[in-house]
Structure 1
Amino acid sequence: MTPALTRRHALAAGAATLLLARRAAAAEIRIVSSGGFAAAYKALAPGFEKETGHSLAAGWGPSMGQTPQAVPARLARGEPIDVVIMVGYALGKLVEEGKVLADSRADLARSGIGVAVRAGAPHPRIGTVEELRQTLLAAKSVAYSDSASGVYIEREMLKRMGIAEQLAGRARMIPAEPVGEVVARGGAEIGFQQLSELKPIHGIDILGPLPSELQQYTVFSAGVVATSREPEAARALVRYLASPEAAPAILESGMEPLAKPR
């Protein structure tokens, strides 16, 4: 065999060895994400899989609430999960309970609350607190999520606006379903949810964010579950989602990335 052929065989054998090693090291990472980060995650997942060779299996559920899909409920029943992506303060509680590794937590993005109506419906004014108050008082039905944004609206915002009692019976919390879908099918006249959760929904018009005096931003964070079977691969995913390279996709989804793009 000539030296050139010997070198080519050696290079081919080396490449095959590296490929086999990469495949052997590849892991399946199981993720549960709240809807607020879903659009960004879906945009970022293919790049991570291509770059690392790992495969991702994602599920969706709210950061809190009583539904079986909620992240705390999934962990409580022992569902195999490697990474959770959810509202930051809810993830913090899981860290305190020892269910998520404290040193794995990364804050990814923050999102404001938006207001939507069914596509083609009249666009009431919401630019000021008084305009939003009059719009809500005139609405036949109002919907908000059972996660962070809805908890804030129900427990704080409507009371601050002095209209909680007037809206009793017309305003309701929606469990385990995007509020935008409820609005799109005519189940509510006005809907509130994270802007990043409203943007992907067809059949609605987004009126805009809440007035600045009422706006509340929710931080979305990621962490590795303490019982993860693939902790190193899971940590790599969290680092990737928190990296400057992920910032453009997060911005496009309607959120503000906490890592600035390079």
Structure 2
Amino acid sequence: MTNLKILSGGAAQGLVASLTPTFRAQTGFDISGEFGAVGAMAEKLRKGVPTDAVILTAALVAKLAEEKLVVAASVCDVGMVETALAVRKGDPLIKVRDEADLREALLASDAIFVPDTKASTAGIHVAKVLARLSVADAVAARLKIYPNGATAMRHLAGSDAKRPIGCTQSTEILNTEGVVLSGSLPIGCELATMYTAGVTTQATNAAQAQALIELLTSADAREPRTRAGFLSAKK
């Protein structure tokens, strides 16, 4: 079976997996996906890694279109993804109503699992939040940083820390066994990121890449998008 090659932010991994059987039935193609920090995925495309389609943040896809690496006319919003808090399954949920609550929760934790703070959407945001709350130095030794949110959440699930928490995109939390979505970040620290998909200008299977985008954004996929953690795309 021929593979459609995609580069995607980890936020879309669960959604793509849930729709792969439908895509396979419609096109006869399987999906060969690499999922990770959006910055790292964009660099792979720039370096010439064979890719038919990308699913990345809207700002990054727009930049890639400017660089003539993504077909501008193919770009379509998939949905918004919130950055949120996670705990191990069975641990008490953390409720944060404001910045003071979040600061207290971070200082009370003995391990904080996050994605790459330089290349991933959520990780970059976490670094900004820690600075905003003036706790970056206080929690630096407790930060457990991994290449992407999915990996960070798997390590949170298996952590033997007493009071571990995680912070990454809600889609990655929902797609990981052993962790639970604990809640959104409070006003002032929140982040909702639009993810978009596009066909690459080097695509070997451009028609199938377009078919995948149409499936991801279709009305029929509304329930899988919601279940995966995507909020409705802006109209």
Normalised to the residue count of structure 2, the TM-score between the two structures is: 0.87
The CA deviation at 1:212 is 3.4
What is the aligned counterpart of 1:131 among 90, 94, 101? 101
Residue 167 of structure 1 aligns with an amino acid whose one-letter code is: V
Which residues of structure 1 form unaligned runs of 5+? 1-25, 65-69
Q: Paired residue for 2:52?
A: 82
Q: Paired residue for 1:94?
A: 64
Q: Paired residue for 1:151?
A: 124
Q: Is 1:219 aligned to 2:194, yes or no?
A: yes
The CA deviation at 1:236 is 2.2
Q: Paired residue for 2:110?
A: 140
Which residues of structure 2 form unaligned runs of 5+? none
Q: Is 1:210 aligned to 2:180, yes or no?
A: no
Partner Cα separation in structure 1 for residue 218 and residue 180 of structure 2: 32
Q: Is 1:56 aligned to 2:26, yes or no?
A: no
Residue 73 of structure 2 aligns with an amino acid whose one-letter code is: D
Partner Cα separation in structure 2 for residue 259 and residue 251 of structure 1: 14
Partner Cα separation in structure 2 for residue 211 and residue 259 of structure 1: 22
Partner Cα separation in structure 2 for residue 61 and residue 173 of structure 1: 13
Q: Paired residue for 1:13?
A: none
Task: Name the Cα RMSD after superposition.
Answer: 2.2
Q: Is 1:195 aligned to 2:170, yes or no?
A: yes
What is the aligned counterpart of 1:183 among 151, 156, 166? 156
Partner Cα separation in structure 1 for residue 180 and residue 217 of structure 2: 30
- The structure that is strand-richer by fraction is 2
Q: Paired residue for 1:163?
A: 135
Runs (4+) of structure 1 exceeding 4 A deviation are none
- Do the aligned partners of residues 120 and 109 (structure 1) sit closer, same or farther apart at CA in structure 2, a change above 3 Å counting? same
When Rg is computed on C-alpha atoms for both structures, the one with the higher figure is 1
What is the aligned counterpart of 2:22 among 47, 50, 56? 47
The CA deviation at 1:217 is 0.2
Normalised to the residue count of structure 1, the TM-score between the two structures is: 0.79
- Do the aligned partners of residues 113 and 98 (structure 1) sit closer, same or farther apart at CA in structure 2, a change above 3 Å counting? same
Bigger relative contact order (CA 8 A; separation at least 6): 2
Partner Cα separation in structure 2 for residue 43 and residue 158 of structure 1: 34
